[in-house]
A and B are shown apart, each in its own frame.
Chain A
Amino acid sequence: MQTNFFRKIIFDEKSRSLLIQTLVIGIFALFIYLITQQTAYNLEKRGISSGFDFLHISAGYDISIRLIPFTSEDTHLRAYFVGLLNTLMIAVCGCFLATIIGFLVGIIRLSSNWLFRNIAYVYVEFTRNVPVLVQIILYYSILLNLPKIKQAIVIFDNFYLTNRGFFSPSPIFKDGFSIVAWSLVIAIIFTFFLKRFLKKKQEETGKQYPTFMINSAIIIFTPIIFYYIMGMPLEFDSPVLKGFNFKGGMVIRPEFLGMLFGLSIYTAAFISETVRSGIISVSKGQREASQALGLKSNFIMRLIIIPQALRVIIPPLTSQYLNLTKNSSLGIAIGYADLVHGFGGISLNQTGRAIEIMMMVMLTYLTISLTISFFMNLYNKSVQFKGNA
């Protein structure tokens, strides 16, 4: 019986692989356990305090680039949220811009125009073969060489371009503006249903409607009409040069712009290749068949080619979004106050809680990345072939 048991373990493939897997997991768990124990032991031995209590003491430093109010009296926990929002802001803006540039360049690279095609080619080869950090620093250095604050470039009287950022008037919403905002929301919802209705009608009657034009007009003009009905409840606060800096208005800092340009221009090069490969992957016969049916060329692109290309484009696109989000941690190089720079850098240094803070930062990036993957996978499923096709 005993010998049988050992025989089985050694010679039966299933039992053997089970044993090996158990062992590997066991060793891995032991390894993690030992590392954790050792770290805790070393920290204690060197008299370094640990724990998460520091999150509730005041941070003591200021952050200029922020979406929520923050002063030096606020806690490190709030500094974490300021950094998190800045990371999300650059990630969202970066992905958005990168997608637009990427799709445009990807389509231009397939254009029949020699000049455009090759400009796009040079752009792609240059940007994707130069490290993104170098590009970020390059764009930031260019932005720093814009005119100084006193010699600002004035655009349309109220916009100022300087090496301290792009200053623009900020809107002041007065009573009744919420009605204008709601009218826009309702207009958007209305166009959504209108689109479905017109599509159904088209399927029944075969008559085509300029859906896009109609909907655009509704979305643009509804809030404008309500804006005048409510007596123009919107004013602007223009930036004014006072003392050292502009007072009032809004500002986009060069640190943000440097990151935005660096990340999106770099990632767009990869996205454009993805888009190009997606379009090429749609078989030639599809285009020829649609031409034979007499479809216009922009319809062929929009209704035949792109939907099929998306199946190929989405998975690598997801991976580019993840890359961009993770690369946003390079903000530290030019002082963009993202999660790694503010909380993961300054708070870490003031409190010395390196392990705790880095764990939090890592878990945060993990969560953001998994969330992006989750939604992109959902979208991917929705564009795949339905049924057995």
Chain B
Amino acid sequence: MTKIKSLFISLVLTLGVSTAIAGSHGSTHDLVKERGKLMCGSNTGLAGFGAPNDAGVWEGIDVDVCRAVAAAVFGDASKVEYVPTTSKVRFTVLQSGEIDMLSRNTTWTLSRDVDLGLEFVGVNYYDGQGFMVNKSLGVSSAMELDGASVCIQVGTTTEMNLADFFKANDMSYESVPVETNSEADAAYTAGRCDVYTTDASGLYASRAGYPDPSAHVVLPEIVSKEPLGPAVRHGDSEWADIVRWSLNAMIIGEELGITSANVDEMKSSKNPEVLRLLGVDAGYGAMLGLSDDWAYNILSQVGNYSESFEKHIGPNTPINIQRGLNALYKDGGILYAPPFR
């Protein structure tokens, strides 16, 4: 008798659990607030973009987007838990709800935006795929790479660009697939491959970590468009808005000359857009379901886009990347945020 009873109980439990799974689809914003911290998918370690520093604190321009969102939601940029993701698992981790957003040098493409059920909310770095070789090979152009062995991270757009580039130029190559950036570095420095190809930003970041960075050269050809940006799950527009405008706030901050150093002075600025952004003119935070000082928190705790760029990947860092395409539209780049009004 007890056996039968317990069987019935387990049957009821089984049913109950499945319905419970079915019912748990609240809004991401509420979930994040309830949890008290933001779960942010980051790289497993790409210097300047998303990597833990010597003290184990995550740093980088991708990480700064996570911090900006945390600052907007909680008023505290440190309330983030970073979930390192490989290029292969990043979308699954986001789709399954394990993380709230993905900020991990991920290229915005049609199929990812549409078919994978993701939503890209902006671009925080305009990149393109490049090739890095050892100077001793005497190669000065990617067109001379016929027959080379190429190290490539699997599950990336670069993998397909690589196939297309060599096919289009009627060249052959041996692909050496690797899982992470650090494995690629190991294989490349061991001479398993002649060429390491990934987004140019990634090449600069890797090179900075080599024993002799000057022995390696990034070839001039950029063979693809790689707009890298944060992504969220499709179907939760309120949350997408929060992430989108957290990034935009950093860009607009640079445009208006608001830095983490002068943000308090700027509160008494005469420029109405500055006042709207910093929440002196009330109302804009409420539209997003946030407090009015959300953008103030971002700019005071994380800083504007330029500060983030210069601190992590700019010319004064080992990574040494020029602003280039990533300068503001008025400085000759294409970085552009819609108006804050």
Say which residue of A10, A30, A48 sits within 8 Å of B116 (CB atoms): A48
Closest chain-B Cβ to A267's Cβ sits at a distance in Å of 24
Check A46 against B117 for contact (C-beta < 8 Å): yes
CA distance A47 to B117 in the complex (A): 5
Please state if A346 and B155 are interface contacts (CB–CB under 8 Å).
yes
A46 to B97, CA, bound (A): 11
How many angstroms from the CA of A34 to the CA of B178 in the assembled complex? 38
When distances are taken between beta carbons in the complex, the residues of chain A under 8 Å from B111 are: 352
Assess whether A243 is interfacial by the CB under 8 Å rule.
yes
In the complex the two chains form, what is the Cα distance from A19 to B174 in whole Å?
61
| Interface flags, A114-140, vs B, CB<8A=1, else 0 | 000000000000000000000000000
CA A45 – CA B97 in complex, angstroms? 13
User: CB-nearest residue of chain A relative to B115?
Assistant: A49
Provide the residues of chain B in CB contact with A63, threshold 8 Å: 175
Q: Tell me the chain A residues, 35-86 only, with Cβ under 8 Å from chain B.
A: 35, 38, 41, 45-49, 60-64, 71-73
B88 lies within 8 A of chain A by Cβ: yes
Binds A, one of B42-50, B157-165, B237-245, B330-338: B157-165
Contacts of B235 in A (CB 8 A): 45-47
Q: Are the CB atoms of A341 and B177 closer together than 8 Å?
A: yes
Contact: B190 with A163, CB < 8 Å?
yes
A350 touches B117 (CB 8 A): no
Interface set, chain B 8-22, CB cutoff 8 A to A: 10-11, 14-15, 18, 21-22
Closest to B133 in A: A244
- Let me know if B104 is at the binding interface, CB within 8 A: no
Is B191 a contact of A38 with CB atoms below 8 Å?
no
Cβ-neighbour of A345 out of B1, B22, B154, B162 (below 8 A): B154
**Cβ < 8 Å to A, chain B residues 195-241:** 233-235
Measured between beta carbons, the chain A residues less than 8 angstroms from B187 are 144, 335
Establish whether residues B177 and A346, one from each chain, have CB atoms under 8 Å apart when the complex forms.
Answer: yes
Q: Is A109 an interface residue (CB 8 A)?
A: no
Q: Is the interface of B mostly helix, strand, loop or mixed?
A: mixed
What residues of A have a CB within 8 angstroms of the CB of B147 in the complex?
Answer: 242-245, 247
Q: Are A27 and B164 in contact (CB under 8 A)?
A: no
- Most central of B137, B148, B155, B233 by chain A CB within 10 Å: B155
Beyond A31-B14, A46-B235, whether A164 also contacts B88 by CB under 8 A is no
- State the CA gap A333–B180 with chains docked (Å): 10
| Chain B residues closer than 8 Å to A30, beta-carbon distance | 11, 14-15
CB distance from A93 to the nearest CB of B (A): 20
- The reply to whether A254 and B192 contact each other, CB–CB distance below 8 Å, is yes
Closest to B119 in A: A47
Cβ contact within 8 Å between A38 and B22? yes
A337 contacts partner chain B, Cβ-Cβ < 8 Å: yes
Any B CB within 8 A of the CB of A172: no
Nearest-CB residue, chain A, relative to B91: A352
- In the complex, what residue of chain A is closest to B145 when comparing beta carbons? A244
A46 to B162, CA, bound (A): 31
Cα(A244)–Cα(B145), bound, Å? 8
Kindly identify which residue among A46, A247, A332 contacts B179, using a CB–CB cutoff of 8 Å: A332
- Give the chain A neighbours of B291 by CB distance below 8 A: none
| A34 with B18, Cβ < 8 A, contacts A20-B7, A144-B192, A354-B92 known | yes
Q: Contacts of A211 on B, CB cut-off 8 Å?
A: none
On whether the beta carbons of A61 and B159 are closer than 8 Å, the reply is yes
Q: How far is the CB of B296 from chain A (nearest CB, A)?
A: 34
List the B side residues contacting A35 at CB < 8 Å: 18
Q: Does A310 contact B (CB under 8 A)?
A: no
Minimal beta-carbon separation of A339 from chain B (angstroms) = 14
Q: Which of B25, B137, B167, B173 contacts A45 (CB 8 A)?
A: B25
Contacting residues, chain B, for A163 (C-beta < 8 A): 190-192
A333 to B179, CA, bound (A): 8
The interface centre, meaning the residue of A24, A350, A351 with most chain B CB atoms within 10 A of its CB, is A350
Q: Does A149 have its Cβ within 8 Å of any Cβ on chain B? A: yes
A335 & B177 in contact (Cβ 8 Å cutoff) = yes
Smallest Cβ distance from A388 to chain B, in angstroms?
A: 42
**B192 with A20: CB separation less than 8 A:** no
For the complex, give the distance between the alpha carbons of A41 and B175 in Å: 38
Q: Contact: A164 with B177, CB < 8 Å?
A: no
Q: Can you report 30 residue pairs joining A to B where beta carbons are below 8 Å apart?
A: A19-B4, A27-B11, A27-B14, A34-B14, A34-B18, A46-B117, A46-B235, A48-B115, A61-B159, A61-B160, A61-B175, A62-B162, A63-B175, A64-B176, A72-B163, A144-B187, A145-B190, A164-B191, A164-B192, A244-B145, A245-B147, A245-B148, A245-B174, A247-B147, A335-B177, A335-B183, A345-B88, A346-B154, A348-B88, A349-B154
User: A24-B7, A145-B190, A335-B154 provided; 15 other pairs, C-beta below 8 A?
Assistant: A62-B163, A64-B176, A72-B167, A144-B187, A144-B192, A242-B147, A243-B146, A243-B147, A244-B146, A244-B194, A245-B149, A345-B155, A346-B155, A348-B155, A349-B155
Residues of B that sit less than 8 Å from A by CB: 1, 3-4, 7, 10-11, 14-15, 18, 21-22, 25, 87-88, 91-92, 95, 111, 115-117, 137, 145-149, 154-156, 159-160, 162-164, 167, 173-179, 183, 186-187, 190-192, 194, 233-235
Sort A-B residue pairs by CB-CB distance and give the 10 closest, nearest first.
A349-B155, A72-B163, A148-B191, A47-B117, A244-B148, A48-B117, A60-B160, A352-B116, A46-B117, A34-B18
